[in-house]
């Protein structure tokens, strides 16, 4: 049976700005380091994990409120078999 939602090797990195005006630094925060799961039609699916595990980031990407990081990962979120992040340019 086709999965309603499919996520494969999903990655998200946030860029965090640190420091003051003349000492600005960029820090990368790896929120999702390649997560994969599939949800079948009619199933109740729980997304569990400790604080900072990436639950909210995952849900926001599924809702298209955030975009995944890295080229191939964009094609790794499927809803009803359709790719969610195939037609956007960075």
Ligand X SMILES: Nc1ncnc2c1ncn2[C@@H]1O[C@H](COP(=O)(O)OP(=O)(O)OP(=O)(O)O)[C@@H](O)[C@H]1O
Residues near Mg ion, by CB under 5 A? 55-56
Rounded distance, CA 77 to CA 36, Å?
9
| 49 lies in the site for ligand X, by CB under 6 A | yes
Q: CB of 8: closest distance to ligand X in angstroms?
A: 18
Rounded distance, CA 52 to CA 62, Å?
17
Binding to ligand X (CB under 6 A) within 3-42 occurs at 14, 16, 29, 31
| 56 lies in the site for ligand X, by CB under 6 A | yes
Q: CB of 16: closest distance to Mg ion in angstroms?
A: 17
- Residue 84: strand, helix, or coil: coil
How many of the chain's residues bind ligand X (CB under 6 A)? 12
Rounded distance, CA 55 to CA 77, Å?
15
């Amino acid at each position: 049976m086709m999965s309603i939602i499919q996520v494969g090797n999903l990655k998200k990195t946030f860029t965090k700005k640190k420091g003051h005006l003349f000492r600005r630094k960029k820090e990368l925060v790896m929120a999702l380091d390649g997560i994969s799961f599939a949800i079948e039609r009619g199933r109740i699916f729980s997304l569990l994990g400790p604080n900072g595990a990436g639950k909210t980031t995952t849900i926001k990407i599924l809702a298209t409120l955030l975009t995944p990081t890295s080229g191939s990962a964009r094609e790794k979120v499927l809803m009803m078999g359709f790719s969610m992040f195939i037609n956007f340019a960075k």
